[in-house]
Amino acid sequence: MNYSEIVAKYNNAGLACLPTKENKSPLLPENWKEGFAPEMFTDCFGIGIICGQISGGLECQDWDNHANEAKENLSKYLSIPDVKEVYEKHKMPIEETMSGGYHLLYRCEKIDGNRKLASKLLNGKPDCFCETRGESGYFVAAPTPKYNIIRNDILNIPTITEFERAILIDSAISMNEYVKPIITEYENSERPGDIYNNDPSSIYETIQILKDEGWTDFGHGNWCRPGKNTGISATLGKAAPNIFYVFTSNGYPFDEMKGYTSFQVLGLLKFKGDFKEAAQSLPQPESKKTEYKGSISKSEIEKILERIKIDPKKTIEKPPTILSIKDTDIYHPVPKRLFSLGNFSAIIGKAKSKKTYLITLLTSALLKTQEYEEFLTSSMPDNKKMIVWFDTEQADYDTQIVAKRVITLSNTDKNFTVFNLREFTPLERCQIIEYVFELTGDKIGFCIIDGIADLANAINDEIEATRVTSLLLRLTKNYNTHITTVIHQNKNDNFATGHLGSSILKKAEIIISVTKNSEMNSNSVVKCDMSRAIDFKDWSFTIDKSGLPIIDNELYEPKIANPYDKDDSEAPF
């Protein structure tokens, strides 16, 4: 294709260009950094624009679309107040790429070379979703096939100040969700530093230590270094759980582009880098705990086996059932276990199958049973009456509507609390949930996490799946509660989405599926896909004119069989 005319326009706008192949590599590899005259673009697939001083200090932020999140990520980035102010002031061009990613363009007197800004785990590996193309770099540009300028004018790329560029760069880095922290010798295998890092309350002490040392908390995990009141210099809990990720070069004693644990923050700021003294200031491991050093010795294994051995002669109480469902067993209606304390369950279904409506109905039955005592029976212990609901997906308005439905159906608002976690990162959501249990866990009998996938950085990451599942196992055991989670099914099959869905379903007490009735839009069928107790028969519920879920009586009413009843056609006379 002949791009000579457009290249001439780019050159007049101060942009150096190079011809590219279909795979985006330079058509003429040698000396491409010097740029080419328009007549060299008569037989190439596309155009590349060279960044750096050759194009007037041009820098490109490249937002990749590897996880189909480029639009969401760029929108979130441009919504950051300081970034929004710079973007709207200068009207920087935005280009959409062939893969659904984006290029954000600007010039500055001082820029760097190509630089990775933000990454996250994708399929278990770190994946960079935002990086710069600077000195010695280039990017493919319109009118290369499937490349389009969607905002502002590429022939009028603005020049911003070094301060404004710092805002753009630091704000992009603040979206980083991956860092591999360096661990000190005092944080290995149940050492004091390791115990401190794993204590949920340590994050709050870290926050106070940072504030005491002059760091400013901007909220949502963003921090500004001492001596500065604008811009983001570090994040807490966004790059990794409880990790203080620093990306300013002026954050002494922290190094630039490194992540620090809570123990390391304590050691650097309170003990001037003396980690031994910091470790000695912390509660020491209890003698009953085994301190592992490399392989476990035989004597240590013997202690562990003695602690975890199950004695068949010892009486272990059966987990109390908090919600049962009436079903038919041969001739008689019998209650069957639905939820019990110390376990968790999963509600699965495709999008819009009314999973949240089902949980609304079950929660209402747990709060007050009059409306459902012929079908669903609550047996919440007197000391475990509290119910908490965590919504990770909906806006405050929609979450409130769900809460009102529960209150209307149960006719009570006692012992029922709802939290909206939508604005937080996956790691922050986990910390908040765990802190709620730390405060009131002994009173919580039932907990709903509507949107369990939003507690993980990536649903197909095995490490993340193990982390979230371990959280459920830990909370249900330590606080003797029941947690119900909501998991989406894949669009093309009935499997739960990702490694996270598979991991949760393997350990759930019961898996209940919700399927939209193809013949009745307002009706959904409830099935027991798996239960560690006894399966219940299918039943359904309908959404009435008031928007409330109502059990279909005809479908759930038990039919008591009579062995002497026979069809008249079989009579011998």
* CATH number, domain with residue 382: 3.40.50.300
Mark whether 213 and 354 lie in a shared domain: no
Pairwise pLDDT comparison (367 vs 139), residue with the higher score? 139
| CA gap 15, 35 in Å, rounded | 9
- Of 53-67, 193-207, 231-245, the one with minimum mean pLDDT is 193-207
Same domain, 335 and 400: yes
Residue 291 lies in a domain: no
What is the four-CA torsion angle of 293, 299, 305, 307, rounded to 10 degrees?
-80
Query: How far is CA 459 from its chain centroid?
Result: 8
Residue 45 and residue 20 in contact, taking contact as beta carbons nearer than 8 Å: yes
Q: Is the pLDDT of residue 294 over 80?
A: no
pLDDT band at 49 (very low <50, low <70, confident <90, very high): very high
Across the chain, mean pLDDT equals 85
Assign residue 109 the CATH number of its domain: 3.30.2250
Angstrom distance (rounded) from CA 382 to CA 151: 60
Q: Who has greater pLDDT, 328 or 210?
A: 210
In this prediction, residues 559-567 reach a mean pLDDT of 39
Residue 391, pLDDT above cutoff 60: yes
| Count: domains in the chain | 3
State how far the Cα of 366 lies from the Cα of 364, in Å rounded to an integer. Answer: 5
Whether 523 and 386 map to the same domain: the answer is yes
Residue at 410 is within a domain: yes
**Predicted pLDDT of residue 263:** 92
Domain assignment present for residue 347? The answer is yes
How far apart (Å, rounded) are the C-alpha atoms in residues 473 and 476? 5
Q: How confident is the model at residue 310 (pLDDT cuts 50, 70, 90)?
A: confident
Which domain-ending residue is among 121, 147, 173?
173
In a domain, 150, yes or no: yes
Higher pLDDT, 289 or 548: 548
Based on the fold, state whether residues 161 and 199 are members of the same structural domain: no
Contact 105, 92 (CB under 8 A): yes
- The residue segments making up the domain with residue 252 are 185-280
Structure tokens belonging to residue 253: 């004693």
* Domain final residue pick, 119, 149, 173: 173
Residue 289 has pLDDT above 50, yes or no: no
- Asked if the bond preceding 312 is cis, omega within 30° of 0, the reply is no
Q: Is the pLDDT of residue 81 over 60?
A: yes
Residues 151 and 189 grouped into a single domain: no
Q: Which of 478, 427, 477, 482 is nearest to 449 (CA)?
A: 482
pLDDT of residue 10: 96
pLDDT at residue 83, rounded to an integer: 95
Question: Is the same domain home to 401 and 536?
Answer: yes
Per-residue pLDDT band for 562 (boundaries 50, 70, 90) equals: very low
pLDDT at 555: 47
Looking at the structure, tell me whether residues 389 and 484 fall in a common domain: yes
Report d(CA 388, CA 441) in Å as an integer.
10
Mean of pLDDT values over 75-92 = 94
pTM for the structure as a whole:
0.50
Task: Say what the pLDDT of residue 146 is.
Answer: 95
- Rounded CA separation 87/71 (Å): 16
For residue 563, is pLDDT > 50? no
Has residue 382 been placed in a domain?
yes
Do 192 and 46 lie in one domain? The reply is no
Domain shared by 102 and 193, yes or no = no
Residue 566 has pLDDT above 50, yes or no: no
Residues 343, 486, single domain; the answer is yes
Picking from 120, 152, 173, the residue at the C-terminal end of a domain is 173
Rounded-to-integer distance, Cα 283 and Cα 193, Å: 10
Domain contains 180: no
* 210 and 164 together in one domain: no
Per-residue pLDDT tens digits for 258-285: 999 999 999 999 999 998 898 888 876 6
Residue count of the chain: 573
- The predicted structure's pLDDT at residue 395: 87
Asked if residue 358 and residue 228 are part of one domain, the reply reads no
Whether residue 304 lies inside any domain: the answer is no
